Amino acid sequence: MSRKTGKQYTAAFNQVGAKPYSLDEAVPLVKKIKFAKFDETVELHMRLGVDPKHADQMVRGTVVLPNGLGKSKTVLVIASGDKLREATEAGADFVGGEEMVTKIQTENWTAFDAVIATPDMMRSVGRLGKVLGPRGLMPNPKTGTVTTDVANAVKEVKAGKVEFRVDKTGVIHVPVGKVSFEADKLVENVASLIGAVVRAKPAAAKGKYVKSVTLCSTMGPGVPLDVAAYNLKVV
């Protein structure tokens, strides 16, 4: 352990040990060893055998988790015309056009978890790169957040759609639910996410694609998963 730890963390860490677990074993263990007084988020970390410095080895995509994330995301839609009404009817929390772009630019306003934009607004939204980019909020066609079907996009985000993207060290970090979730619901969410990452394997990736998978709660130690235990196709 490289970080300073308290007695509760150490006790939880000692229950994990060094062996890898199947997904069905790992989820109950993460729930069992949690010690924070709040409802911790459960996170999945996947180390991939790719070099993200090369564009053809970038791993990125989205998946709608079957059981959501435990809270509904706050969604901003930047659109025009009839798309404003469609977004409102679909349940978007904030809806607008140029005035939303101005608000973000002048006030550094980011009181939302996701941004959806229509293609015609991207010229304006593009000016928000310095604010939205570092926060992972910039709309992108590849993740379905630049679209004319704003109603469906809003509904997917509200239903638990998450984005995954490999970082510069080759690791994907994604929330998959709360420790208060029933174990089977967390298992379904994790399996859906892993499946999406495996399907997103770039053709240019050589050797072992999934190097390691770890599951943990916000404050808890990582529980290593046995890649072979749930039949990931690793080559």
Are 61 and 43 in a shared domain?
yes
Output the CA–CA distances (angstroms, integers) from residue 159 to 16, 74, 154, 190, in the order listed.
Answer: 32, 11, 9, 16
pLDDT of residue 150: 96
229 confidence band (pLDDT: 50, 70, 90): low
Are 38 and 154 in a shared domain?
no
pLDDT of residue 225: 93
Q: Give 56's DSSP letter.
A: G
pLDDT of residue 231: 43
Q: Give 222's DSSP letter.
A: P
Domain membership flag for residue 14 = no
pLDDT of residue 5: 57
Helices (H), the chain: 7-16, 23-32, 82-90, 98-107, 122-125, 129-132, 150-159, 183-199
Is the pLDDT score of 145 beyond 70? yes
pLDDT of residue 88: 96
Are 97 and 213 in a shared domain?
no
- pTM as predicted: 0.77
17 confidence band (pLDDT: 50, 70, 90): confident
pLDDT of residue 11: 87
Are 40 and 59 in a shared domain?
yes
Domain membership flag for residue 214 = yes
Are 45 and 82 in a shared domain?
no
Output the CA–CA distances (angstroms, integers) from residue 140 to 13, 199, 228, 232, in the order listed.
Answer: 39, 20, 33, 28
230 confidence band (pLDDT: 50, 70, 90): very low
Per residue in 58-67, pLDDT (tens digit) is 998 989 999 9
Are 94 and 121 in a shared domain?
yes
Phi-psi group of 181: left, alpha or beta (phi > 0 → left; psi -120 to 50 → alpha; rest → beta): beta
Q: Give the CA count within 13 Å in the CB-facing half-sphere of 28.
A: 5
Q: Which amino acid, one-letter code, is at 165?
A: R
Label residues 180-215 b or e (16+ Cβ within 10 Å = b). Answer: ebeeebbbbbbbbbbebbbebbbeebeeebbeebbb
Domain membership flag for residue 181 = yes
| Average pLDDT of the chain to the nearest whole number | 90
Are 59 and 169 in a shared domain?
yes
Q: Pick the residue with more confidence: 45 or 4? A: 45
Are 101 and 144 in a shared domain?
yes
Of the listed ranges 30-34, 67-71, 100-104, 145-149, the one predicted with least confidence: 67-71
Domain membership flag for residue 12 = no
Per residue in 110-138, pLDDT (tens digit) is 999 999 999 999 999 999 999 999 888 99
What is the domain-level CATH number for residue 190? 3.30.190.20
Overall domain count for the chain: 2
Are 90 and 136 in a shared domain?
yes
Choosing from 130, 159, 188, the residue where a domain stops is 159
Q: Give 21's DSSP letter.
A: B
What is the share, in percent, of the chain residues with pLDDT greater than 70?
A: 95
Are 31 and 140 in a shared domain?
no
Are 30 and 99 in a shared domain?
no
What is the domain-level CATH number for residue 135? 3.40.50.790
Choosing from 128, 159, 190, the residue where a domain stops is 159
pLDDT of residue 234: 42
Is the pLDDT score of 233 beyond 70? no
- The residue-averaged pLDDT of 152-169 equals 91
Provide the residue range defining the domain that includes 117: 77-159
Choosing from 133, 159, 185, the residue where a domain stops is 159
